[in-house]
Structure 1
Amino acid sequence: MRTRLLSWLAATAVLLGVTAVPAQAAPSLLPLTVTNNSGRADQVHLYVLGVYNGRLGHVNAAGAFTPWSGGGNPPVPAPDVSIAGPGQGGSRTLNIPINLAGGRLYMSFGEKLKFFLTPDGLVQPAPWNPSDPNRNILFDWSEFTYNNGGLWLNSSQVDMFSVPHAVEVTASTGQVKKTGELVGNGRNRIFDGLRNQGGDWGRLVHTRPDGTRVRALAPRLGIESGIFGGTYFDSYTQSAWNTYRTTDLTVVPYENEPGKKFIGRTDGGGVMHFTNTAGARVASFQQPSSRDIFGCDGRLAAPNNDIGAIARTLCAALHRSTLGFLHTQPTVNPAEFYTRAITDHYSKIIHANMVDGKAYGFAFDDVGHFESLVHDGNPRSARVVLTPF
């Protein structure tokens, strides 16, 4: 799991100022059922990976954790730890041990995934690399953390979009929370939308030799792969930074502290400085590159403090093309998002094809609660549904 999403829990706790306190002890093993409504005849292979007691490892269907061992340089093939998934119309229940952090549930169709080990840990699939052996395998993953604070489970498009799936959690009260479900024909609509957008957007869609559209890469990885322009956001970012030479940008990043505000202004050298209400400078940001924006890192790196809270807000506003136009951030009206020619069309198109409008189109899509995530502090079960495509 990426560091940005691994830090989601800590960042959210800082931003919201909350601590989850379940009414009763969470189950030591949480049932997670995978239901296959994909409509495909391919064999499904499942993998449960994560960090337990500080060690990277894998979990079997019964919920037993085994740390990775061995490894070489160059990387050597990892043991086959796949779990047979359900056939079309069927379900398979796995068990997730409590205190498994940074978890991923991989699902692949037709072929098993290839993992590798180094002395330092696991090499996970990276199909944006043309030499990765998983490049033409149809697969995706959900991400989760399960501990005494409950279960956090999300679908994610931060790296790529491939296999449509919804995520659910059932509370001890019986309440079911669900997100991540595509509209009818949503997968094709996303691929077609990118193709029809023009420019480099269509190049993000990877089609394997048999004609199957396997995935769409996120623009950050498109830049790293050399298939998407590295200056895409530059003119918009320059304009936004220039706007705040003469106009105040007010950032109110803490939902539970509306009185805690930071005022941004761009100086003569092009650096945007933020001061608190007492006038003390707390953060400064040079104009970020397109890669920084798509990755929400680099000059927009977001530690878990006031600097990070401002960086997260800036990154979300740039993706949604509201910075420079709406001068109090974050904005939370989705009708105001993605309305300009230079915007994150990848995230825009994915959000537009979700039943509830929620997705993880970029790392800080949770700013304003637009992420495809379910959480319950006292869960009794979880579910991932592979939806039709």
Structure 2
Amino acid sequence: MGTRRAPSVRRTAPAAVLALVAAAGVTVAAPAEHAGAAVPTTIQLTVTNNSGRSEPVYLYDLGTLLATGRQGWADASGTFHAWPGGANPPAPAPDAAIAGPAPGSSMTIRIPKFSGRIYFSYGKKLVFKLATGGLVQPAVQNPSDPNHDILFNWSEYTLNDSGLWINSTQVDMFSAPYAVGVKAGNGATRSTGHLKSGGYQGFYSALRGQSGGWANLVQTRSDGTVLRALAPGHGIENGALSAGVMSDYVNRVWSKYATSTLTVTPFADQPATKYFGRVSGNTMNFTNSSGAVVTSFQKPDSDSIFGCYKLLDAPNDQVRGPISRTLCAAYNRSTLLTHANQPDTSAAGFYQDAVTNQYARKIHAQMADGNAYAFAFDDVGHHESLVNDGNPQQAYLTLDPFS
């Protein structure tokens, strides 16, 4: 697997996370008006190619079949195919590519009850391999990854008995622009993920103009094609961004909460559930309303902040995970020094400190609706680029212009 890291929460589809933690009561379930609606085994996904590019498009629907827990892919009809056994070193996976729509046209496929990803690539098919532990996903932070020079992106979705969750994501990279949508049971269609006019080029211009090494996140092909901007955690991993890029902010947070209290109210529907954080040495301890310590966090490094993992690990429980989600969002948005009560859900105050997640800041600035998944817990306060419905009639994936 080369330099790729072991799977963690930031490698997990945010849409899938939302669907799964809903069962644990961490987030809301499907809309009440759709309770009891029968979600079919497959639904239609209409893919529209508005990219303006002339290369052929290839689609892939990869994931875990929720009925059985088996991993595999779905063909254009929504039929599931399990992956065969893997190997060490990893062996080529079966060709799961679906020929996508030509420029200016649309096509409709069917997607099954998966928790997974819909990849799309321009010009070349993606290379997938099977290790003994399962599918090896592209890892473009690794310069030797066979997909490094391919222009591609992916959406993440969960379709289950409770409905459809589908998102656009920049958790790992900002690349080929696209939007997602869902037609609800009442006939209304909602979408998210579209950039503002000029937003694609605007993002890259802004990132390249940001001092402090952020421009190093941009990757181009030898022919000059801009391929992507890596998320900052991946930039730290491959040396493009300093590992201490957030250290000054963390130090100031640590100093503030050594003498004052950080209050976290992680559940919007449970305002009485509060936790209180104070720094002692290298540790921030959180107590409940009775004064008992419920969890503690070591002083996080930049990578833990950008990835919402390691020193900010967020298990699917009712205490540490929700606190960590809140902290992760606040660190990335740099709101901990301005608001001692978290989460701060008003976007007007996000990314205002000189030390912040500049990658996330610039993505959100270019989104037509302001929403994105620029880091794993961008859904704190509902700033994520996600649509869902408990009785989905159809899903949409629109490949947008590179302008």
Q: Give distance in 1, aligned partners of 2:18 and 2:64.
A: 15
Gapped runs of 5+ residues in structure 2? Answer: 1-6
Percent sequence identity is: 51
Return closer, same or farther for 1:145/1:56 CA change in 2, 3 Å cut-off. Answer: same
Aligned residue runs from structure 1 range 1-389, under 5 A: 2-3=11-12, 5=14, 6-12=16-22, 14-16=25-27, 18=29, 22-52=35-65, 53-98=68-113, 100-101=114-115, 103-267=116-280, 269-305=281-317, 306-389=319-402
SS of 1:279's partner is coil
Residue correspondences, number: 386
Q: Does the 8 A contact of 1:46 with 1:107 survive in 2?
A: yes
Return closer, same or farther for 1:19/1:354 CA change in 2, 3 Å cut-off. Answer: closer
TM-score, reference length from structure 2? 0.93
Q: Give distance in 1, aligned partners of 2:285 and 2:177.
A: 41
Q: Give distance in 1, aligned partners of 2:26 and 2:86.
A: 39
Question: 1:182-203 CA distances to partner (integer Å, 9 max, x unpaired)?
Answer: 0112111111111000221100
Return closer, same or farther for 1:181/1:74 CA change in 2, 3 Å cut-off. Answer: same
Return closer, same or farther for 1:17/1:359 CA change in 2, 3 Å cut-off. Answer: closer
Question: 1:320-353 CA distances to partner (integer Å, 9 max, x unpaired)?
Answer: 0001221000011101000111000100000000
CA root-mean-square deviation: 1.3
Amino acid at match of 1:15: V
SS of 2:286's partner is strand
Question: 1:120-163 CA distances to partner (integer Å, 9 max, x unpaired)?
Answer: 21111111111011111000000000001100000100000101
Give 1:260 deviation, angstroms.
Answer: 0.8
Amino acid at match of 1:161: F
Q: Give distance in 2, aligned partners of 1:371 and 1:152.
A: 12
TM-score, reference length from structure 1? 0.97
Gapped runs of 5+ residues in structure 1? Answer: none
Give 1:70 deviation, angstroms.
Answer: 3.0
Q: Give distance in 2, aligned partners of 1:105 and 1:185.
A: 25
Q: Does the 8 A contact of 1:251 with 1:262 survive in 2?
A: yes
SS of 2:102's partner is coil
Q: Give distance in 1, aligned partners of 2:74 and 2:152.
A: 19
Q: Give distance in 2, aligned partners of 1:35 and 1:58.
A: 21
Q: Give distance in 1, aligned partners of 2:40 and 2:339.
A: 45
Q: Give distance in 2, aligned partners of 1:9 and 1:79.
A: 28
